Amino acid sequence: MIWLRSLIYNLFMGGTAVLFSIPVALVSPFPSGKHLGHWIARQWVVWQFFVLKHLCRLTYEAQGLENIPRENAITYWKHQSTWETMAQLLIFPPQSWVLKRELLWLPVIGQAIYALEPIAINRQAGHSAVKQVLEMGQARLNAGLWVAIMPEGTRMPPGTTRRYGLSGALLAQKTGRPIVPVAHNAGDFWKRNAFLKYPGTIQVRVGKPVYANARPPGEVNAEIQNWIETQMKELSPGYQGTFQPKPRLR
């Protein structure tokens, strides 16, 4: 039954992703198009979570929402599955995502992602990618958007992590904006690159904002990663926090 429910949901997710992408791309040239595009994308996520809840019996609970500051900021998300890439649209205000540029090459969906002003980087570009995050990230923050970063750089198997990239901490230091850490156990129910969606309740924890000030970026990252990994050990039974090698990016 889990297999059948997952099949139906995957077909629904793929079909509606294309369907909702069309109006997001079409409205983008108009004066209020960016705002409307984010709203449409958010409605898509509302439908995804409705179907996940009633079809796959998968829902979520969020703690620490009172920690979300009024000013726009930078978010650091634990990255385990596709679920959190959708959840961030519901939990936080409109944002610009730091993501791999290859996503923009997807037919239809890529045009919609581009319309929402992401920071699309070449993961092999090293320092150039970091510079891009700093320049475009500051512009996005100045424009009123949040900046969402997955500091591990890729989806991690449950129980693992890797050293955080420095671009988010450098951006926080440059702009004076705080970083809001987010931990969750979505990977226990929807694993990376996995077909099956298991029933249950995903737990999300939003931490207090962390300001970089004049501290070294590595120190800022260490504080946030320690908080997130501590939460993960509470959220996921048997979580080890094993470090994997860092990829070339960031």
- Mean pLDDT value across residues 69-96: 96
Answer with the residue of higher pLDDT: 168 or 248.
Answer: 168
158: confidence class by pLDDT, cuts 50, 70, 90 = confident
Domain range enclosing 173:
61-243
Residue 91 maps to a domain: yes
Q: Is 113 within the bounds of a domain? A: yes
Question: Max CA-CA distance within the chain?
Answer: 54
Whether residue 135 is contained in a domain is answered as yes
Residues 203-229 pLDDT 10s: 999 999 999 998 999 999 999 999 999
The answer to the question of residue 49 being in a domain is no
Identify whether 69 is part of a domain: yes
The total domain count for the chain is 1
Q: pLDDT by residue (tens digit) across 98-119?
A: 999 999 999 999 999 999 999 9
Which stretches within 92-236 are classed as H helix? 109-115, 127-142, 167-175, 217-235
Q: Is residue 124 part of a domain?
A: yes
Q: Which residues contact 113 (CB under 8 A, 6 or more apart)?
A: 99, 103, 104, 106, 120
- Residues 6 or more apart whose CB falls under 8 angstroms from that of 67 comprise 180, 206, 207, 208, 209
Looking at the domain assignment, is residue 148 inside a domain?
yes
The CATH number of whichever domain residue 209 belongs to comes to 3.40.1130.10
Q: What pTM was estimated for this model as a whole?
A: 0.93
Considering the domain boundaries, does residue 5 fall inside one?
Answer: no
Q: What is the pLDDT of residue 100?
A: 92
Q: What band does 246 get if pLDDT is binned at 50, 70 and 90? A: low
Q: Give the mean model confidence (pLDDT) for residues 157-175.
A: 93
Q: How many angstroms separate the CA atoms of 250 and 182, rounded?
A: 20
What are the tens digits of pLDDT across the range 18-67? 999 999 999 998 888 889 999 999 999 999 999 999 999 999 999 999 99
The rounded distance, in Å, linking the Cα atoms of 203 and 216 is 31
